[in-house]
Amino acid sequence: MRQRPKEQDKFERRHNFEAVEENLTAEQVKAEADRCLTCKNPRCVKGCPVNIHIPEFIKALKEDKLEEAGDIIRETSMLPSVCGRVCPQERQCEGQCVLGIKGEAIAIGALERYVGDNTSAKSTEIVPTGKKVAIVGSGCAGITAASDLRKAGHEVTIFEALHEFGGVLRYGIPPFRLPRKVLDREIDSLKAMGVKFEKNVIVGKSITLKQLKDDGFDAIFICSGAGLPKMMHIPGENLNGVFSANEFLTRVNLMHANDPSAATPLRIGKSVAVIGGGNVAMDAARTAVRVGFEKVYIVYRRTEAELPARLEEIRHAKEEGVIFQFLHAPSEILEKDGYVAGMKFETMELGEPDESGRRRPVGTGRYTTLDVDTVIVALGTGPNPIIQKSAHLDGLDFATDSKGYFTVDTETRETSIPTIYAGGDVAPVGESNAINAMGAGKKAAKAINEYLMNII
């Protein structure tokens, strides 16, 4: 039987930001590892974007070799404690597990997290190459690339626009899903390796790509995330009380805005509608519960069967009192004295499948109103054009796609400008998540290293 971690009481956790799940116990880890079949053709590895040697690290756990398990994971991933918590294992490694065909897959994420929390990266001798690499952004892609490039001997500097490091891991993911001590530990391990960090630097404003090149950086990896929120474009969207999920989560996670004494406090109303059905929507809704909204709705235009969020996130949201309104599409935000006073929705029904394979929502012409005083829009994000615009002024014109994302070589992650690479949410491949960003960081680091080792 699959082992499950102990969880914080659903009523208590509504009022705090402490981790919802504990680690498995040592006994549970051994019991779960013993379930692994150690397949000769491990499909789980193929399901992992960074190809962690999953059967090998689980075998080490079977043999009570915890440190060895940590070494095996860190051959390909510097963030086991992070990925074990936030990656969609059910659609990746665990989704490919043979045991999951007729029963329950191995809890690979929980095992990885346990190993990450109870082991540390080994120090390795670094032979300097004299080459310098600038990394724009300190999220998953940047951390991963920095680790690989530093191990190869290059001088690496990460430039972060915000006042703390971690990118979306810090400003976008709440601490009840990813405790800050876990993230801080991963950042500290990079600093111990000699990676340099510069905060409050907006590349494209504070400094340009051309200036980075002039400062002697031999290669640049852009992984600044996609911070431009996608909005609904309906009447009332500019009212007070309407937030993008990015703004709402950043203000709470990074600026502690739920504290009335904070520099930028939130106006906490009675009820909030979170528009969307992905993991960010779940994070926003569960955060809204904790900051004090009495009623929290997630409003989604399809049915529960089509929700893209992780099943675990959906379950936790329901347990914490979030109310789900399905087959509702936003139509208008109602106003009173410049503030949100309600929201109007068209009820939907499902039609034929669209290009995503999910059944398309079709309007019925019937409308309903929800009594809310706050709206959080969690419909995704797009690329911020700051870097491209500043580069254009310096004569560097990047090739981009129709949505403004960098066009890159899928294997090397090199952009149309030689020696400048891009990955993560600014040049996405597949689903936008931590492990895919890490995969992009590893590809970019490999290509950058090969280039640097072949120049004089």
Which of the 8 DSSP states describes residue 63?
Answer: T
- Residues 54, 57, 59, CA angle at the centre, nearest 5°? 105
The Cα–Cα gap between 10 and 123 comes to: 40
CA dihedral 442, 443, 447, 453 (to 10 degrees): 20
Number of other residues whose CB lies within 10 A of the CB of residue 237 = 15
Q: Per the structure block, which two tokens stand in for 121?
A: 């990266």
Judge whether 204 and 387 are in contact, CB under 8 Å: yes
Give the helix, strand, coil percentages of the chain, each rounded to 5: 35, 20, 45
Q: What pLDDT, on the 0 to 100 scale, is given for residue 265?
A: 85
Q: What are phi and psi of 221, to 5 degrees?
A: -115, 115
The strand pair at 381-382 and 228-229 is best described as antiparallel
| Domains defined along the chain, listed by start | 13-118 (1.10.1060.10), 132-227+383-452 (3.50.50.60), 228-380 (3.50.50.60)
Q: What pLDDT, on the 0 to 100 scale, is given for residue 397?
A: 95
Give the residue among 247, 258, 264, 252 at the shortest CA–CA distance from 377: 247
Using DSSP's 3-state secondary structure scheme, residue 400 falls into strand
| Helix H or strand E encompassing 447 | helix 434-452
Judge whether 184 and 157 are in contact, CB under 8 Å: no
Q: What pLDDT, on the 0 to 100 scale, is given for residue 456?
A: 60
Q: What pLDDT, on the 0 to 100 scale, is given for residue 83?
A: 93
What is the torsional sign of CA 83, 86, 91, 94? positive
Is residue 166 left, alpha or beta, with left meaning phi > 0 and alpha meaning psi from -120 to 50?
left
The Cα–Cα gap between 245 and 263 comes to: 19
Q: Per the structure block, which two tokens stand in for 376?
A: 């959080």
The Cα–Cα gap between 404 and 414 comes to: 16
User: What are the beta bridge partners of residue 158?
Assistant: 135, 197
Along the 456 residues of the chain, how does pLDDT read in single tens digits? Answer: 999 999 999 999 999 999 999 999 999 999 999 999 999 899 999 999 899 999 999 999 999 999 999 999 999 998 999 999 999 999 999 999 999 999 999 999 999 999 999 999 888 889 999 999 999 999 999 999 999 999 999 999 999 999 999 999 999 999 999 999 999 998 999 999 999 999 999 999 999 999 999 999 999 999 999 888 999 999 999 999 999 999 999 999 999 888 888 888 899 999 999 999 999 999 999 999 999 999 999 999 999 999 999 999 999 999 999 999 999 999 999 999 999 999 999 999 999 988 878 889 999 999 999 999 999 999 999 988 999 999 999 999 999 999 999 999 999 999 999 999 999 999 987 777 888 899 999 999 999 999 999 986
Q: What pLDDT, on the 0 to 100 scale, is given for residue 264?
A: 83
User: Cα 322 vs. chain centroid, distance in angstroms?
Assistant: 22
The Cα–Cα gap between 117 and 166 comes to: 18
Residue 286 CB contacts under 8 Å (≥ 6 apart), including other chains: 174, 176, 313, 316, 317, 320, 322
